[in-house]
């Protein structure tokens, strides 16, 4: 078949987030021609909406400071977090399959090298994420999972882009604007508004030889002489996929709305094995902000990464605590996924805080839905007493009945129990006792290295994550649901980002990285930048491998 090619390049990169542009940069570094296609008008993908951090074990910046990150322990930590149900430190490969282990090893072995190459090329300019909180290290705050015995490098793995002084944008903007400028500077066209809908294959091997994109209603064919690299993000904006694939019900996503998850279907049709479909990178959302946006959230106060406040708790619809409120967002959010007695009892949770938290004047950027002093929020519920607050929460839930997010709705089960106010009073009394002793016997709040540091301002002692509630109101509440930065399942890749068939062979010329493929991170979120670090590293490896392919001999 003779196909008219509107554009052609050695390597065609689909998407323009961190994985995609790392691939483009790697391919350019190999001296081949590259074209980038992206569905959105603004390049940068979901990475440009992010905190711009990259979790890179044993990176050069750490090494430069004399910080060590032994390979075996780092792999053990990653294996634990990626595949906790089968993790076994005493087994070969920690209990993982050969491929799952090899992918983590490739990430460890090539992570620093990739960042160094991108830095040398001028594509990125990264530093170790400086201390943000109330910790003791002058280098950085502790890793998310610093408490695990396998974690021998709790300081230094997190790199970030350097924001201009005084900027209030998230660092992801600067990370991606830098990568975009670099790629454009290398003569790589970024064709915005080009939604790739299919891969063209040739020959009996099914080699990927190009893509079909939709641009302004027309089909645009783009030939790839050496390979196609997808970095197109997950399927979080496809409610039917989220409902039928992901581990728990979700109200919103922070991923770029042009993401459609098309790579899953395209790759499956080409014979790819699929993996990791049940997983995502989770965080809590301000429920009403997610509902307002029909799941496609963007306003900053929708993101509840770190529930704010010392005299603050999160309770269920019966008024009982159900989770360590200071646990990192990915793990904490999974408390919404409990299914029992034919319902999701924790589908909606309620964050409760007192007036001293509300009025706390110390600046702290992560108030996650709690307005800054003097500001207001339509999503904050107020009551002069706990009883009045409870009544107001019940009314708000009632007003939201029937509204829906991505794969969760405010259904008939989402109502306050009649004993909510009474239980809430008891719960606060018990919490106040924990705050006084400093020991949370129920959920161990504040016991990891990071939790007290990222607590933000506090009046609490001996445990700075907990202060007894004020005996007088007003009190405040915010409704919380589960959200996903993006899903991270799709076609299975090998150690160079090559898309694999069920028999382990590669589909020639087809590569992927980031949230559109079965993430090597499994069900884990290794630390700050645990999404973008692996995305950039495997994106780079994929772009390099695609560029190094000899040109296919099939008919075009």
Contact positions vs a copy of itself (CB under 8 A): 80-81, 83-91, 95, 97, 145, 148, 240, 243-249, 265, 268-271, 273-279, 323-324, 327, 331, 334-335, 337-344, 347, 401-402, 404, 407-409, 411-413, 444, 489, 502, 518, 522-523
Which residue has 């997610």 as its token pair? Answer: 290
The alpha helices in 160-300, defined as continuous H runs, are 171-185, 239-245, 262-269, 287-292
The two beta strands, 195-202 and 207-215, are: antiparallel
Residue of 42, 34, 40, 46 lying closest to 185 (CA atoms): 34
Phi, psi (rounded to 5 degrees) for 158: -95, 115
Cα dist. 318→28, 288, 349, 445 in Å? Answer: 57, 20, 10, 20
- Looking at residue 275, the DSSP 8-state letter turns out to be E
Supply the DSSP string of 394-427, one letter for each residue: HHHHHHHTT-B-SS-B--TT-S--TTHHHHHHHH
Distance CA 440, CA 56 (A): 33
Q: How far apart are CA 16 and CA 38, in angstroms?
A: 6
Helical axes 171-185 vs 18-29, angle rounded to 10°? 30
State how far the Cα of 346 lies from the Cα of 334, in Å rounded to an integer: 10
Which H/E stretch holds residue 542?
helix 532-548
With beta carbons less than 8 A apart as the criterion, state whether 48 and 173 touch.
yes
Distance, CA of 356 to chain centre = 31
Q: What is the C-alpha to C-alpha distance for residues 162 and 105, in angstroms, rounded to an integer? A: 28
Tokens 């399927």 identify what position? 235
The CA distance from 246 to 233, in Å, is 15
159 with 53: CB under 8 angstroms? yes
The first and second tokens of residue 312, run together, are: 């603050």
Q: Which residues contact 293 (CB under 8 A, 6 or more apart)?
A: 252, 299, 302
In whole angstroms, give the CA distance from residue 284 to residue 338.
Answer: 15
Residue 211: strand pairing partners:
199, 222
Tokens standing for residue 373: 């002093």
228, containing H or E segment: strand 218-230
Bridge partner list, 228: 12, 510
Residue whose token pair is 């070969």:
92
Fill in the DSSP letter of residue 528.
T
């Amino acid at each position: 078949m003779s196909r008219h090619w509107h554009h052609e390049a050695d390597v065609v990169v689909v998407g323009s987030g961190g994985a995609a542009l790392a691939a483009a940069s790697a391919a350019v570094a190999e001296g081949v021609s590259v074209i980038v296609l992206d569905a959105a008008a603004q390049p940068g993908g979901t990475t440009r909406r992010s905190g711009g951090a990259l979790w890179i074990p044993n990176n050069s910046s750490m090494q430069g400071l004399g910080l060590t990150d032994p390979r075996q322990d780092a792999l053990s930590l990653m294996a634990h977090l990626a595949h906790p149900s089968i993790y076994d430190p005493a087994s070969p490969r920690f209990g993982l399959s050969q491929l799952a282990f090899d992918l983590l090893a490739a990430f460890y072995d090539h992570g620093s090298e990739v960042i160094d190459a991108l830095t040398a090329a001028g594509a990125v300019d990264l530093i170790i994420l400086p201390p943000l909180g109330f910790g003791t290290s002058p280098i950085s705050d502790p890793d998310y999972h610093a408490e695990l015995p396998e974690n021998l490098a709790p300081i230094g793995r997190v790199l970030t882009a350097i924001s201009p002084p005084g900027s209030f944008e998230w660092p992801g903007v600067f990370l991606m604007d830098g990568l975009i400028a670099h790629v454009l500077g290398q003569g790589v066209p970024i064709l915005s508004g080009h939604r790739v809908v299919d891969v063209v294959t040739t020959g009996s091997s099914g080699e990927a030889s190009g893509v079909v994109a939709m641009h302004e209603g027309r089909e645009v064919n783009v030939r790839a002489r050496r390979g196609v690299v997808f970095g197109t993000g997950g399927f979080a904006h496809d409610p039917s996929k989220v409902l039928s694939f992901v581990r728990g019900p979700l109200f919103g996503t922070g991923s770029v709305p042009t993401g459609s998850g098309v790579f899953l279907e395209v790759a499956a049709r080409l014979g790819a094995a699929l993996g990791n479909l049940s997983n995502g990178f989770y965080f809590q959302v301000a429920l009403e902000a997610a509902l307002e946006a029909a799941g496609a959230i963007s306003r900053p106060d929708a993101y509840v990464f770190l529930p704010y406040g010392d005299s603050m708790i999160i309770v269920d619809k019966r008024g009982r605590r159900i989770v360590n409120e200071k646990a990192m967002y990915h793990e904490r959010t999974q408390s919404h996924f409990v299914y029992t007695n034919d319902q999701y009892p924790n589908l909606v949770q309620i964050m409760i805080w007192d007036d001293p938290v509300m009025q706390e004047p110390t600046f702290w950027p992560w108030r996650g839905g709690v307005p800054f002093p003097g500001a207001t929020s339509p999503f904050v519920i107020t009551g002069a007493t706990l009883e009045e607050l409870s009544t107001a929460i019940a009314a708000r839930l009632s007003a939201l009945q029937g509204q829906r997010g991505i794969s969760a709705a405010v259904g008939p089960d989402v109502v306050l129990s009649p004993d909510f106010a009474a239980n809430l009073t008891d719960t606060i009394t018990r919490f106040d006792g924990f705050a006084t002793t400093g020991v949370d016997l129920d959920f161990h709040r504040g016991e990891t290295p990071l939790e007290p540091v990222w607590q933000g301002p506090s009046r609490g002692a001996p445990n700075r994550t907990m202060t007894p509630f004020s005996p007088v109101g007003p009190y405040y509440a915010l409704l919380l649901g589960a959200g996903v930065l993006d899903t991270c399942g799709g076609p299975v890749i090998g150690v160079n980002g090559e898309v694999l068939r069920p028999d382990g062979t590669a589909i020639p010329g087809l590569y992927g990285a980031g949230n559109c493929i079965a993430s090597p991170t499994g069900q884990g979120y290794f630390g700050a930048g645990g999404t973008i670090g692996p995305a950039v590293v495997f994106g780079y490896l994929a772009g390099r491998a695609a560029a190094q392919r000899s040109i296919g001999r099939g008919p075009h």
